[in-house]
Amino acid sequence: MNKKQPTSRIAVVACVFSVVAVGVVGALEPDEIRGHFENSAAWWSFVVAVATLVVTAAIPVLLYHLTSASARAAVALQEQQKDLLSRQGQILAAQRADQLVLQAKSLTGEADLAEVLAEAEKLESAVSRLRVQESYWSNPAVPVAGWGRHRLNSGLAVRVSALNLAPKLEGKPTSQGLDELETLAKAAALQNMRVTEPITQWMMRRFRDGRGAGDTRIRDLLRDAGDDELFSSLLGAIDDMGLPPVARVHVVAGVSDAYLDRIGYYPRGERPTTELASPDLSRQLLAGMASLLHRRRLNGLAGWDGDEFTISPDGAAVVVAASCAAASYTDEHLAMRCVQNISQMGFPSRSMGLYDLDLNYARRKFREHQEKLFAAYPF
């Protein structure tokens, strides 16, 4: 803006105002006023003096208004410059966030990824920081939430880790995968979240490609993960006839053993626990077993052949009977479905060693909880 412009405006306005004032006063020339002056020259001197006084009084007013307008224009210009700089800053910040998102998802080095996270904390936008963190936890090179040195248990970390289990655990031994699943389930429990479905899906994929977990590893996962929904989820998953028999043997045995551990049944000398199974868990287990037995998914289980089993099929049949018997108090109808079909698992007449203790426990519990049913369907 031209700084001389307000001054020029004032001069022009003052000149115009002076001419108008002189003309108006001169045109009036009332006789009673003019009579006090000796001649016309004196009269006109008086007129000019009056006009000068008027203009002199008007100049500060005009100067104030013109100066205020100039100040407002300057403020408006400053605001426009601020808006422009702000938009430029937002564009640069968005570009930086996009760059960090890509790096968080593609880098593999631990130090590099730690630097990316540190840079993300400097971003002003909370949404941008979350985008980078989400990309970080989706990176296959980053272990699941709670694992190893990555002991970050935020809800975002748990959710994104669960959604990306397959790439994160690809190529890792099943035992390590189960360890990571256990820590993920614990991290989820701290956030009042559940990761039951992705854990179940991963375990079933491993069974399909011949790398399924053994019964004791399944038992340990269920015992330590703190997610009771896994019991019924795994039992429901093995109802899929596309899975190999080893999946059914290991899952029903692992689930049964974990449940027996929970209620404090340790006939084989294992370390007891003070935790008891809730009625809800007991009923869920009974419902899952009743469905498998009623649909003939475990017929002849005790006689199944296979070298890949980590527990003998007859031992698996016995612990299934024991867990069903222990939970049979929760629902008479489900207990009937179980006891009707348990005998069809084909228990051998020979001694099964320590598993004889479990079979006797199953018979005792069925008599205790469902005496009439067991009398009608003994095994």
Looking at residue 350, the DSSP 8-state letter turns out to be S
C-beta separation of 374 from 339 below 8 A: yes
269, pLDDT greater than 50: no
| Residues in CB range of 123: below 8 A, 6 or more apart | 93, 96, 97, 100, 129, 132
Q: How many CB atoms lie within 10 A of CB 378?
A: 12
CA distance linking residue 243 with residue 252, whole number of Å: 13
249 Rama class: left (phi>0) / alpha (psi -120 to 50) / beta: alpha
C-beta separation of 359 from 314 below 8 A: no
pLDDT band at residue 271, thresholds of 50, 70 and 90? very low
pLDDT band at residue 187, thresholds of 50, 70 and 90? confident
> What pLDDT is stored for residue 21 in this prediction?
53
Query: For the segment 32-48, what is each residue's pLDDT rounded down to a tens digit?
Result: 555 555 566 666 676 67
| Residues in CB range of 74: below 8 A, 6 or more apart | 1
pLDDT band at residue 365, thresholds of 50, 70 and 90? very high
Dump the DSSP string for 275-329: ----HHHHHHHHHHHHHHHHTTTTTTGGG---SS-SS-HHHHHHHHHHHHHHHGG
CA distance linking residue 63 with residue 355, whole number of Å: 107
192 Rama class: left (phi>0) / alpha (psi -120 to 50) / beta: left
pLDDT band at residue 1, thresholds of 50, 70 and 90? very low
Packing angle, helices 126-138 and 40-106, rounded to 10? 10
C-beta separation of 124 from 93 below 8 A: yes
The single residue listed with the structure tokens 């370390």 is: 271
CA distance linking residue 91 with residue 14, whole number of Å: 50
CA distance linking residue 224 with residue 293, whole number of Å: 27
65, pLDDT greater than 60: yes
Query: For the segment 66-86, what is each residue's pLDDT rounded down to a tens digit?
Result: 677 777 777 777 777 777 777
How do the domains of the chain map onto residue ranges? 207-379
Q: Which helix H or strand E contains 234, and what residues bound it?
A: helix 229-237
CA distances (Å), origin 249, targets 181, 254, 321: 21, 8, 13
The single residue listed with the structure tokens 């209620």 is: 263
Above pLDDT 90, what percent of the chain? 50
